[in-house]
Structures are given as structure tokens and as C-alpha cells.
Structure 1
Amino acid sequence: MRLPPALVGHTEEVLREILRFTGPADMVLSRYFRDHQRLGSRERGVIAESIYGLLRNKSVFTSFSESGSGASMRRLALLGLADAAGIDSLCGLTEEETGWLQRVMEIDRAHLPVSLQSNLPTWLWEKFVEKMGETEALVLAQALNAPAPLDLRVNSIKGSSREEVIASLALAPIVAEPTPYSALGLRIKKKPSIQNLPLFQDGTIEVQDEGSQLLAQLVGAKRGEMVADFCAGAGGKTLALGASMRNTGRLYAFDISEKRLAKLKPRLARSGLSNVHPVVIAHERDAKIKRLAGKLDRVLVDAPCSGLGTLRRNPDVKWRQNLVGIAELNVKQTAILDSAARLVKSGGRLVYATCSVLEEENEAIVSAFIAAHPDFTLVPMSQVLAEQKIDLEMGDYLKLMPHLHQTDGFFAAVLERNKPQVA
């Protein structure tokens, strides 16, 4: 099906705004679509797919765009649209543009320089190469640059088994498969709209990456305990923790953003949970936190991070992050983990997690914490995984990678507050 000629102009206009990298690409797209309500759902879908394709392949497409004549932003828009919808679907192109697109799209990208094929900023590509060598670094980059499937978590509170949910989805018809590691996870290769499904509306299913589901499981939250999700955000892990607790005990969802916590409310209403207490805090040393010092059985710190493990879903992140920003995040990560640790009672568990694949946000933060807090001990991840019956081979830490585990990139460490020595 042919696309309207105006679509090139729309794609070019929104691309120009997104490439300023002043905010997340999905927010810029949403705002643009609100301002241009005459665009139909198919047109919006093509524009969005083109933009995300461009962000994933920005290094290669920028290199290609420099080989033609005319405005480079238009050439980038054309490359994105051709990649998403095919050259034959484009209207309003000059003969020269059509010929150039055909030549460019036929180029074998495997013959391009490896650093260009990675479609990563130079500083990040060099970090990957230094850590794992060029061959594996490219495999990781390609996995991070591929679109993610849709992962769902079955809400165990609602009483449906994973098999029953698979059968219900098949009637939609949506093909879902069990995830390999999370016992409550489902994976859908395509990305159907699920918001109108009864299963979604009644809280039986929630959208959550399998890696994120596993992080919640590592906390090991049990019935009747006092637990905190220290950086709850929109509450995906909070809901999983509440279900693990079988809707008993007390679960605090802390966050400094009232806007983020507001997104938890409709999800909470669907979930059927009544043990969750969302709390807006001013900072990590808020008085509301001090009152709970030494009282909690489990605390999850899903720390603010670079988000470089989520590039499959948020490809613009790699172009918006830099080394200065990561150094600033390290200071914040250290302060948050230090503050959250005060909540944990003797024998309690503290889980530090990020959706980053960088050592300075992960192992380095945990090592520094242990050195500064001799009252905490690292629990080997292999032991925690066995305890939770998760079939994964890990050493001291959980390190999930998209090219190895088909999840987003996640890191987690489990720490335990030592019990006092009995004289």
C-alpha cells in the first residue's frame, strides 16, 4: 500500500526534533501525534517504526545519508521510511532519490567497518570491545539494536495459570510462549495492542520484561513481611512483589516523582493488591524513610541508571547518554543504596539492581558499598537463583544480557545484613 507523500515531511519534522536529544523519543513522538491528530493509526505506526529504526541504525544511516544530494534530514527520513515500509510504498520522490535509495538499501552492511555496524556511540562501543572483544561486542550491539518482543507477567493473585492465559490469548488470536526463566512470564513475538483485552483490563496480565520479573523474584518477598521498592517508578516490580507476598504484609512503593507513582495507581487498581502503599519522598533521606530504619525484611533498590540495558525498547538512550552523565549517576546510585540499607533489619535482604550493562554502575557500586558497610554480606547469586528455583547459571551477580538471555540487560546483587553475634 502506498503512503501519502506528506508522510516524508512529517517524518522529517519529528526526526529533527528527536535528534536534538532534549528528551525521550517516545515523549517527543506522543507530543507530535497529539499536535497532528489528522494522522491515521497506520501513518503514525509507520512514522514511529521509521524513527525507531533510524535511532537503532543511526551510525549506518547517517553514513548512507552523506552519499546523496539534497537535505541530509530528508535523506535520513527517506532511509527510515524505506527500511520500515519498503521503497515501493513511498510517494512524491524524485527519480534521483528513488535511484539513490535503491542503491543504498542494497549495500551489504556486513562489509562496513565493525564500529559502524555496531550503531553505538564511540565511547560505548570502545567499552564493550575492551570488556569482551570485538566479536562478542558486535553480537551484543546487534542484540541491543534489535526490537524487543512483548513480555507479559501473569498475575498469580488472579488465579489463572500461565497455560490458561496462553489459551485465552490464543482466542484473540495472539500467540504467546512461556518465558524460559520466569515461571510467570509470557513472550509475544509480535506487538499486538493488549489494552482492550479483558485479561489486561482485569489485571490478569501485566506488561513486564522477563528480566524485570526475575529481579522482583530475587527479593524473595514472603507472606506477612515488610518490604520496600525503594525506587518504584511506575511500579512494575512493586506489583510483582505484592503478588509474591500473596497480598499480605506491607509493601512500600517509594519514589521522588509523584507523576511516576501516579502511573502506578491504575495498575494497582487492576492488580487486586491491597498491601501496596505508594509514598512520595523528597529525597533518599526523607523523614518518612528514617521512621522505618531497621524494620524491613526486604528492600529492592532498582537504582536510577543509564538505561543502556534497555536499548531494544529505547534506542535513543545510547545517543543521549555520555560518560559525564554516568559519573553523575554513580554518585546518586551510591547515595541511594546507602540510604536504602538503613531500612533493612538484622538478617534482612537488600537487592541492588540496574537496567545497565556497565560495570561502573553495577559491580563497582556494590564493591564500594560492601567496603563501606561491613555489616552487610554479599549472597552469591548462584545460591539465590537455586533458592528461587530459577534455571540460570550465574556467579556472585545476576548479569542478564540480550544476546545471551533474550531479556533486556539487567544487573542485580543480593546483600544481607549480618545478624549480631551471640556471645
Structure 2
Amino acid sequence: MTSRKNTQSISARTQALCTLVDWHASRKPIEIFLNQYTADLPQRDKSMTKNLVFGVLRNLQTLDQVISQYSKHPLAKMKPRTLVALRLGVFQLLFMERIPQSAAINETVNSLKISRQPKWLLGFTNGLLRNVSRNKDVLLEQLQKDTPNNHPGWLTDRWQKRFGKESMQALYTANNTIPKICLRVNTSNCSRTELMSLFDQAGIQAKLSSLSPEGILLEEPESVPNLPGYTEGFFQVQDVSAQLATLLLEPNRPGQRFLDACAGLGGKTSHIAQHLCRDSTLSATEPDKRRFALLQENLTRLTLQDRVRAVHCSLQELLQSQPQPFDAILLDAPCSGTGVIRRQPDIRWNRSLEDLTAYQTTQQQLLECCANLLNPGGRIVYATCSLETEENQAVVNYFLAKHDDFTIQDAKPLLPPEARHLVTAEGFFHPLPQEQCDGFFAALLVRSPLL
């Protein structure tokens, strides 16, 4: 009889296999398939499935290099299910120390057996993985000397030219490292000191962010809903870069009409809300039905729902309704996401150079809508989680060329002193991926007041 433990392990590996096979065929966001295949799994297996899937995506070129070294069959001629199974097996053998080598091999083969693959293929997979296992130490030594960067060529070419070799290597390292979970304290409900005390009492290893006055970094992976203070709305998961970008809007200014133009799940919306003065108002638009529902759930959990007028519509639809103009607008625009590859490793393989033009068109249109919704003397924070010039500086320059009543304001004075080194000479907030923060871009655009 198969033990419960073994059943769960096989299930996690099988779901990881199915997730990656479906993703390989579609190149849609990996989370779609992860959510589909892990919906009925226990939390432990959900975590294992995600670790396997993300591990393969972060090390794709490395895994293919190893497989090619031990396979007589060209990778290009392998069926996707076979290649994915080999990637999963090799990843476990080389990079998951806690998994016994025999378990990694046997359960990878079993995951193919469950999908009724022919016996010769099971034997081929078993043989290749056993060869890798026998030569593990040699392989790891080779990879220390010469490991692929695990990024597509179109990205590496442009990053090499723009950032230089040293910065580019640091960028690869950051993207291929599992990032810490970052929290933002909801100062409406508790202080950072109080939340750290709760974590300490629960034995949870955490440290203060040195860049954001409200940030906390978890030292070990944790199930966020199980953390003390989650149900009470004491914190929100939010990267330090996003926390700092929200500060550029000056959410604690009195007598202001604020708008979060692309609210999403409400990370920045709730950040503005917790700093909102009594005589200020905040609206937030989100057109997607699922994201809008989660926006409302997050605001309710954080007990901030009464401070936000959440509107289920697009920015264009809001503009057509002719609302009273706003004093400050945050536009966190849809983008390629190349600054958050460390958190969403499928992005590097899902994007192409051609995508940047499509994103740029949308970003320009949304920024134009914001200008039409803004009061004289008002300000727009234009933000993306992209590293690409086409989506950042080029969009800002295009906008300024059309609107001579707008200027760039230096972001540096609005940030904590510890974070001001993340601002460029042009005044843009533009960190690269690093331990405490994701890659990000934010520009503060200020409209001239009426004379």
C-alpha cells in the first residue's frame, strides 16, 4: 500500500509536470496553470509544486544543457512531456538537497507512468536521470565554472549594452535567486515594532527593511495567511519598490483627491489609504472582475474599505463619466514585467521584443487619460515594473513632448534618505532587482498651476 506521504509527493510532481506541459504549449502566465492544478492539493503540496515549477523556469537553460550532455536524442525532437519530466528530474537531483536522489528519479518516472507513457520512454528517463545522479558532483563543479544565465538572448543582448557586464551579471543572479517575501505594515492597525514583536513571539524570522519605513522581510518562506496579524489586517504583501513608489504621490497631503488608475489587487491602493488625511478622498479603478473582487477583499481585510471608492471600470470608462478632476493620480501601468522576473520567472520566457511596442501603446493611452483627469497643479506618478526604456523613459518623453505644461519632478526628496540612491540623475525612481526590492520605474510628472 502506498503511504500518504508518497501519494502527496507523487501528486505534487505530477501536477508540476502537467503545469509545465500546459504552459509550454501556450506561454500564458504560469500562475493560470498552477492555480488550476494545485486547487485541490494540501498547502504543503501546493508549495512543493510551485517550488518545482519555479525552479525549472529559473534554471531552464542549465537543465537543458545537462540533459543534452546525457541524451543521444536532440532536445528539439523530444515531446514536451518528456522534456519537462527530464527537466523536473534533473532540477531535483542537482538543486533540491532535501529530496533523496532515488525519490527524485523514481517519482519522476512515476509521473510519466501516470500519464501512460510507453515503457521504452520510462526506461530512457530512468537511465538518463541515474547517469546524472552518478555524476552529480562533477556536474555541479562544471556549472560553478560555466553556467548559463538562464535568460533569453533578446534580453541578454539589450541588458549587456545598457547595464554593462558587471551590473548585468548581478541582475541575472538576482533573477535566479528565490526572493524573500516582503510585507508592508498597515500603520492604520499596528506599528512595525508591534508586528515584529508578534513575529518574534511566533518564532518567525524577519528583519526590517532598511529602505522602506514600513517594510518587513521574511527570512524564510511562510504561508502568508497563517502569519500572525494577517486576519487582523496588520500587513499586506508588497515589494519594497512598490512601497517607495507610492510615497512619490505624497498620500499624506491634506485636502487631496487621489486616484489609483490601475488598482489591480490593491497593494498601492491600500498604501495610499492608510496614509489618507480625513479631508482627502481616494478612488480606485479596476476593470477585471476577478482582480476587482480581490481588491475589495484586501481592502476589507485591512479595514480600509471605507476610505476607498472602488470602481469596477476601466480608466477610459471613468474618463467618459466626467468625474471631478483629481489632484494626484497613480498610474501603475500594464507592462512587460521584466523587473519582477525573480518573482515571476516565466516572464523571461513569455515575452518577446515585439511585446514592448504593444505595451508602450497602451501605456501612452493610459497616461493621456490621466492627463485629462488631472487638475492644474496636480501630479501623476507613472510607474511600471519593467526595466525596458521603451516602457519607461520613452513613454515619459513622448508624453512631455505633447504636454508642455508638465515637467519631471525629482523623486529623491520624496523618498527616505536610505532609498535616495535608487533615483537616477534624471530624477526617476529606477532600482534594479536586488535583495530588498524588485526592478521598478516611477516618474513624477507635475502639471503647471493656472496663472
Q: Same fold (TM over 0.5)?
A: yes
Which residue number corresponds to residue 101 of structure 1? 133
1:169 aligns with 2:199: yes
State the Cα distance separating 1:397 from its structure 2 match. 0.4
Change (3 A) 1:79 1:208: same
Which residue number corresponds to residue 145 of structure 2? 111
Gaps of 5+ in 2: 74-81, 110-125
Pick from 360, 368, 372: which aligns with 2:390? Answer: 360
Which residue number corresponds to residue 263 of structure 2? 232
Pick from 67, 77, 90: which aligns with 2:88? Answer: 77
State the Cα distance separating 1:248 from its structure 2 match. 4.9
State the Cα distance separating 1:217 from its structure 2 match. 1.0
**Contact 1:47–1:81 (Cα < 8 Å) also in 2:** no
| Separation in structure 1 between the aligned mates of residue 224 and residue 11 of structure 2, nearest angstrom | 30
Q: Which amino acid aligns with 1:278?
A: A
State the Cα distance separating 1:102 from its structure 2 match. 4.0
Pick from 298, 303, 324: which aligns with 1:272? Answer: 303
State the Cα distance separating 1:249 from its structure 2 match. 2.1
Q: Which amino acid aligns with 1:79?
A: V
**Contact 1:182–1:210 (Cα < 8 Å) also in 2:** yes
Relative to the length of structure 1, the TM-score reads 0.90
**Contact 1:46–1:81 (Cα < 8 Å) also in 2:** no
Change (3 A) 1:329 1:53: same
| Separation in structure 1 between the aligned mates of residue 406 and residue 29 of structure 2, nearest angstrom | 37
**Contact 2:202–2:228 (Cα < 8 Å) also in 1:** no
| Separation in structure 2 between the aligned mates of residue 247 and residue 154 of structure 1, nearest angstrom | 20
State the Cα distance separating 1:258 from its structure 2 match. 2.5
1:5-404 equivalences under 5 Å are 8-34=13-39, 37=40, 40-69=42-71, 71-82=82-93, 83-84=95-96, 85-88=98-101, 89-90=103-104, 92=106, 94=126, 97-103=129-135, 105-112=139-146, 117-158=148-189, 160-221=190-251, 222-246=253-277, 248-273=279-304, 274-282=306-314, 284-288=315-319, 291-292=322-323, 295-385=325-415, 391-393=419-421, 394=423, 395=425, 396-403=427-434
**Contact 2:249–2:330 (Cα < 8 Å) also in 1:** yes
Q: 1:66-107 CA distances to partner (integer Å, 9 max, x unpaired)?
A: 223374332112022322344534252646522323425424
| Separation in structure 1 between the aligned mates of residue 176 and residue 354 of structure 2, nearest angstrom | 23
**Contact 1:150–1:191 (Cα < 8 Å) also in 2:** yes
Q: Kindly report the root-mean-square deviation, in angstroms, between the aligned alpha carbons of the 2 structures.
A: 2.3
Q: Which amino acid aligns with 2:179?
A: A
**Contact 2:273–2:307 (Cα < 8 Å) also in 1:** yes
State the Cα distance separating 1:242 from its structure 2 match. 0.6
Q: Which amino acid aligns with 1:20?
A: A
Change (3 A) 1:144 1:179: same
State the Cα distance separating 1:23 from its structure 2 match. 2.0
Q: 1:322-347 CA distances to partner (integer Å, 9 max, x unpaired)?
A: 11111100000001011111222121
Larger deviation, residues 375-384 vs 390-399: 390-399
State the Cα distance separating 1:9 from its structure 2 match. 4.5
**Contact 2:265–2:291 (Cα < 8 Å) also in 1:** yes
**Contact 2:151–2:348 (Cα < 8 Å) also in 1:** yes
Change (3 A) 1:44 1:199: closer
| Separation in structure 1 between the aligned mates of residue 21 and residue 373 of structure 2, nearest angstrom | 46
Change (3 A) 1:10 1:303: closer
**Contact 1:68–1:75 (Cα < 8 Å) also in 2:** no
**Contact 1:354–1:362 (Cα < 8 Å) also in 2:** yes
Runs (4 or more) in structure 1 with deviation over 6 Å come to none
| Separation in structure 1 between the aligned mates of residue 130 and residue 279 of structure 2, nearest angstrom | 63
State the Cα distance separating 1:5 from its structure 2 match. 5.7
| 2:430 alignment partner, SS class | strand
Gaps of 5+ in 1: none
| 2:223 alignment partner, SS class | coil
| Separation in structure 2 between the aligned mates of residue 330 and residue 265 of structure 1, nearest angstrom | 29
State the Cα distance separating 1:130 from its structure 2 match. 0.7
| Separation in structure 2 between the aligned mates of residue 279 and residue 196 of structure 1, nearest angstrom | 30
Change (3 A) 1:16 1:102: farther
Q: Which amino acid aligns with 1:51?
A: V
| Separation in structure 2 between the aligned mates of residue 337 and residue 238 of structure 1, nearest angstrom | 18
| 1:398 alignment partner, SS class | coil
State the Cα distance separating 1:167 from its structure 2 match. 0.7
Q: Which amino acid aligns with 1:58?
A: L
State the Cα distance separating 1:374 from its structure 2 match. 0.4
State the Cα distance separating 1:11 from its structure 2 match. 3.5
**Contact 2:333–2:383 (Cα < 8 Å) also in 1:** yes
